[in-house]
Amino acid sequence: MISTNIVKKLKEIIGGENLFDSPESRLAYSYDSSPINAPLPDVVVRPSTAEQISQIIQLANAEKFTVIPRGSGTGLSGGTLPSENSIILLTNHWNRILEIDQENLSVWVEPGVITAVLQQEVEKFGFIYPPDPGSASISTIGGNVAENAGGLRGLKYGVTKNYVLGMEVILPTGEILHTGGKSVKDVAGYNLKDVLTGSEGTLGIFTKILLKIIPKPETSRTFLAFFPTMDDAAKTVSAIITAKITPSMLEILDNTTIRCVEDYTHIGLPIETAAILLIELDGKKSVVDDDALLVNEICRKHNATTIKVAQDESESVKLKTARRSAFASLARATPTTMTEDVAVPRSELARLVSRICEIGKKNDVRIGTFGHAGDGNLHPNYMTDKRDAKAFARAEKSIIEVEEAAIDLGGTITGEHGVGLYKKRLLEKMVGSPSMTMMRTLKQMMDPNNILNPGKIFDLKPKCEGPLPTDREQIKKFEDVAWI
Amino acid sequence: MISTNIVKKLKEIIGGENLFDSPESRLAYSYDSSPINAPLPDVVVRPSTAEQISQIIQLANAEKFTVIPRGSGTGLSGGTLPSENSIILLTNHWNRILEIDQENLSVWVEPGVITAVLQQEVEKFGFIYPPDPGSASISTIGGNVAENAGGLRGLKYGVTKNYVLGMEVILPTGEILHTGGKSVKDVAGYNLKDVLTGSEGTLGIFTKILLKIIPKPETSRTFLAFFPTMDDAAKTVSAIITAKITPSMLEILDNTTIRCVEDYTHIGLPIETAAILLIELDGKKSVVDDDALLVNEICRKHNATTIKVAQDESESVKLKTARRSAFASLARATPTTMTEDVAVPRSELARLVSRICEIGKKNDVRIGTFGHAGDGNLHPNYMTDKRDAKAFARAEKSIIEVEEAAIDLGGTITGEHGVGLYKKRLLEKMVGSPSMTMMRTLKQMMDPNNILNPGKIFDLKPKCEGPLPTDREQIKKFEDVAWI
C-alpha cells in the first residue's frame, strides 16, 4: 500500500479532485474485460497534462510504486489490471480530436478518444479510419495503440500499427518523447514508434497520437453465406484470397456460435447451418460489382446453401449483427465462457478449425468458434462452468492445446488481444528464447525500476511453466456488448 | 589491423576460399554509393550459413574487431562503409528465392536476392512486390530491409517495412533470432521485426526474409505532365491527393533536372518547361479510366501545358525514362554532385520547393531537384566542383540549410536513404534528445561491444556539432545507372 505521503504528493501534482481512493473507486478499476482476478489498486489518478504524467512517473521511480495506464478497460488479456502496490492512471477523459488534416490524410487525437467516435468524425469529411476492433464503440485510441488492436477490417486494411504515424509518449523514466510525424516516408534513426505501438502499456503512456486516415471507399456490399461444413467455409476463404479478391471483412461463425446468436438475437439464422461467412467488399462500384459476382460463384462452388446480400445500409447492419453479437451470445449461453485469440497463416485455417473440433471432442468441452477468417485469426470460446472443477480443468487444458496447435501450424497465440497476463505462459514457446531475451532486455533498459505496467507480456525473470493461474476463474460475462 | 591469428580463425569458420584480403579486394569494398571516403577494410568475408555468421560475430566480440554487413553497396548514406579495424561481411551471394506461397501471399528469400529479380519472379504468378527503390535493378532485399528502402511506389503501396513479415537475423551477440511469420495478425510480445527493419546493419544481419506480396493490379497508365512553374506542379500534387486519388507513382522533376536529362538521353523533353510530373495510376481498368480523366482535368486546371499519355507498356517505360535517368543525368553534368533526401508532409511540398530555390540562389549553388512528390520526398542535387573550395563550401552550406528547412516544415532529414554516416549531423536536432537516448541505449543493450556497423546512424557518445567531414568530398559519378 502506498503511503499517505505519496498520496499527498500525487494530489499536489494533479489536484485532490483527480485522485480517487474510495473502496468503490478502487474496486471499479480492479478488473478489465479479461477473466482474471487482480488485487485492488491503491489509488486511481486522473492527470490532465503530459507534464503531470511525467511527474507521477518520476515519483513512482523515486518511491517504487507501479503505474498501470488504462483507457476503457476493454482489453481481453488483462493488460490494465492492477498489480501489488500500484496506482491506476486514467487517460480516457482526454478525448479531443485535435486536428483533422485532410491534405496530409492524418488526424491528431488525444488517447481517450473513443475509436467509433473517431471513425464517425472522419467519415463526415469523406475519410475512414480503418482499424475496427469489435470493442470500437467503447475502446479508446490510446488502448488500441497500446494493444495494436486488430478487428474486422484487418484483411484489407491492416491493424492499428499500420495507421500510427506519430506520438507523444511518456517513457517509464518520465521523459516525454516525440516520434514520427506527417512525412509519410521517414528513416531518420531507429523505428521507435512501431516498438512503442503494441507494447501493452509497459514501455510508455501515449498522450497524443497522430493517425493516418484514408479516403472512404465509394461503396460497399455485405453478404452472409451459409455452408454445410466448417471445412467448406474455411476453403471458401482460401479460394477468395487465391482469386485475388481482398474483402474488407471475411468473418466466420461456427454452428455453436450460430445457435447461441440465434437464441440471443432471434434474427432468423438457420440453426442447422454448420458455418456462416460474413463477407464485405468495398471500393469503386464497378469493382465491387465484379468481385461480388466472383465471390458468389466461389461460395456456390464450395457448397454454400444460401447467400444473402444486403440491399442497403440498414440491411448490411442487420447482416453484421450476427457477427457482432457472437461474443455476447456465447458469453450468456453458459455460466463460464473463456475467449481465445489464436491466428495461423491463412492456408492453415481449415486445419486449425478441425484441430479445435478434435480438441473440444477429446476433452469433452463445448467450443463456439468465430473470428476473422480472412486473417486466419479465430476466437474459440470455451463454454464451461467454473463451479465444476473437472469441467473447468478440461476447458483450461483445451485452451493450452489450441494455443499449441496454433504454434504447430506456424501461427501465434495472440492475433490481436495481446499477451497481457493471459497469454504469458506459452509466449516463450512461441517466440523462442532469443526474442524473450531481447524483449526483457528492452524492458529493463527502458524501465530500470520496472514501474510501468509490470508483469504484463512477461515476467522479468523467467518462471517455471505450470498450470494456468487459478485467478483466471473469475469469468465475467458481457450481456450487452459485442466486442471482439 | 586484425591479427593473422584472427584471419586464420575466420578461414577456419568460412573456408579460405571465402576470405579476401588482397589490396584489390579491400579497395573494392572500401566504398559504396555515397560520396564519403572511408578506410580500407582489413578483410572481406563471404559466409554461407547463418551459423557461420554467428561464429564470426562471436569471434568479433571476443577479439574486438568490427563487422560491416554489405549487400550490393547501392546505399547513398554510407551505411556499408568500413570503419577502422573492420571486416566486410558479404551477403549478396545468398540469392535464392526459397518459396513463393501464393495462398499466404508471401515469399521467403535470402538476403542477396536482387530486388528487381524478386519483382519479376512474383509477377510470373500474378503478384507484385511493391517496394521499388530506384536501385532495384542492383540492390539486394537484405539491403532494402536494412535501410527500409522507399522508392517510386511509396505513395500508394508504402515502403519496405510494410512488406516485411518475418526474418531470421543474427544479433550483434551472435544469437540467431527468428521473428514474425505468415500470420497476418500477431501481437505476441514486442514488435522486434519493425525495429530491426531499417536499423541500417547496426542491430542485426538478416539471413532469411519473409516478405508480403500482393495481387498484380489489372492495368496501369502512365502520364507525363509539363508545367510552367514548380509551384503549379507542387500544387497539382496536393490537388490529386485532395481529390482522393492515390497514384502508384507521382514523381517530380525541376527544370535543371529536365535540362540535364534531355542533354543525356535526347528523349525530346521540352527544356523550357519548369517542371514535369510523372504520374502512374494502377488498379482495375474502370477505376483507372475514371481517375485518369480526373487527373487530366486537375493538371489542366493547374496550368499544365502538355500531358503525354503512354499508349502501351513500351511507351510507359519511355515516359519513365526521364525520371529514372534523373540521378545519372545530374551526376554527369558537373564535376561534383551531392544528393539530398529530405521529406516533408505533403502539404508543405510547394514551400519546400521554394525554400530549396531560395537557398540555391542565396548561396549561388545550382540545384537540380527531383523526387517522390506524392510522398513529399525530394532529392535536391547540389551541382558543384570539389576542386573549387569556395564553391564546394557553398554547396555544403546549402545542404545543411535544406535539411534545416525540412525540419522546420515538420519533415525529416532522410525519407528513404537512411542516416548512415551522411546524415548523423542533424539527427539529434530532428528527433530530439529523448529519442537519441533511446536509440543509443537500444544499440548498447543489443551490441555491448559495439561491433556491428559501429558509428552508423549515431556515435555512441554524442560529439559536438561541427562542419561536415571533408571526406564527403569524394563524390562518385554514376554514368549508366539511374537509381534514386
Segment B372-416, tens digit of pLDDT: 999 999 999 999 998 999 999 999 999 999 999 999 999 999 999
* B246 lies within 8 A of chain A by CB: yes
| Shortest CA distance from A441: residue in chain B | B445
CA of A263 vs chain B CAs: smallest distance (Å): 31
Q: Do A184 and B376 touch (CB under 8 A)?
A: yes
* B210 lies within 8 A of chain A by CB: no
Segment B230-241, tens digit of pLDDT: 999 999 999 999
Let me know: does B200 contact B457? Beta carbons within 8 Å: yes
Q: Do A415 and B187 touch (CB under 8 A)?
A: yes
B52: phi then psi, degrees, rounded to nearest 5:
-60, -40
Q: Note the ipTM here.
A: 0.93
* A445 lies within 8 A of chain B by CB: yes
Return the C-alpha cell found at A265: 438475437
Mean of pLDDT values over B119-145: 96
pLDDT score, position B321? 84
Average model confidence (pLDDT) across chain A: 92
Of B162, B182, B185, the CB nearest to A150: B185
Mean of pLDDT values over B192-206: 98
Contacts 24+ apart (CB under 8 A), B347-350: B347/A101, B347/A103, B347/A104, B347/A182, B347/B238, B348/B376, B348/B409, B348/B410, B348/B411, B349/B234, B349/B237, B349/B238, B349/B373, B349/B376, B349/B378, B350/B230, B350/B231, B350/B234, B350/B235, B350/B238
pLDDT score, position A33? 86
Mean of pLDDT values over A187-210: 97
Q: Do A414 and B199 touch (CB under 8 A)?
A: no
pLDDT score, position A424? 94
Segment A36-85, tens digit of pLDDT: 889 999 999 999 999 999 999 999 999 999 999 999 999 999 999 999 99
Chain A, residues 60-119, CB within 8 A of chain B, namely 101-106
Is the per-residue pLDDT at B264 higher than 60?
yes
Domain boundaries, chain B: 4-90, 97-215, 219-408, 429-447+460-482
Q: Do B347 and A162 touch (CB under 8 A)?
A: no
Segment B23-82, tens digit of pLDDT: 999 999 999 988 788 999 999 999 999 999 999 999 999 999 999 999 999 999 999 999
How far apart are the C-alpha atoms of A125 and A74, rounded to whole Å?
28
pLDDT score, position A467? 41
* A50 lies within 8 A of chain B by CB: no
Report, in this order, helix, strand and coil percent for chain A, each rounded to 5: 40, 20, 40
Angle at the Cα of B405 from the Cα atoms of B401 and B411, rounded to 5 degrees: 135
Coil, helix or strand for A461?
coil
* A168 lies within 8 A of chain B by CB: no
pLDDT score, position B481? 30
Return the C-alpha cell found at A3: 503511503
pLDDT score, position B465? 40
Residues of B in contact with A435 (CB under 8 A): 177-179, 189, 192
Q: At what angle do helices B389-408 and B349-363 cross, to 10 degrees?
A: 160
Is the per-residue pLDDT at B477 higher than 90?
no
Which top CATH class is A97-215?
alpha beta
Segment A90-143, tens digit of pLDDT: 999 999 999 999 999 999 999 999 999 999 999 999 999 999 998 999 999 999
* A418 lies within 8 A of chain B by CB: yes
Is the per-residue pLDDT at A228 higher than 50?
yes
Q: Where are the alpha helices (DSSP H) in B336-425?
A: 349-363, 389-408
pLDDT score, position B483? 32
* A215 lies within 8 A of chain B by CB: yes
Mean of pLDDT values over A413-427: 95
How far apart are the C-alpha atoms of B304 and B34, rounded to whole Å?
35
* A346 lies within 8 A of chain B by CB: yes
Is the per-residue pLDDT at A483 higher than 80?
no
How far apart are the C-alpha atoms of A258 and A224, rounded to whole Å?
12
Q: What is A4-90's CATH topology? A: 3.30.43
CA of A166 vs chain B CAs: smallest distance (Å): 12
Let me know: does B400 contact B426? Beta carbons within 8 Å: yes
How far apart are the C-alpha atoms of B339 and B330, rounded to whole Å?
10
The CATH number of B219-408 is 3.40.462.40
Segment B277-324, tens digit of pLDDT: 999 999 999 999 999 999 999 999 999 999 999 988 888 988 888 888
Let me know: does A16 contact A7? Beta carbons within 8 Å: no
Core vs surface per residue A340-349: b (16+ CB within 10 A) or e: bbbbbbbbbb
Residues of B in contact with A190 (CB under 8 A): 195, 198-199, 203, 438-439, 442, 457
How far apart are the C-alpha atoms of A82 and A68, rounded to whole Å?
6
pTM of the predicted model over 0.90: yes
Which residue has cell 549508366?
B480
Is the per-residue pLDDT at B431 higher than 70?
yes
Instruction: List A180's β-bridge partners, or say none.
Output: A166
| Shortest CA distance from B434: residue in chain A | A177
Return the C-alpha cell found at A294: 466472383
Is the per-residue pLDDT at A426 higher than 90?
yes
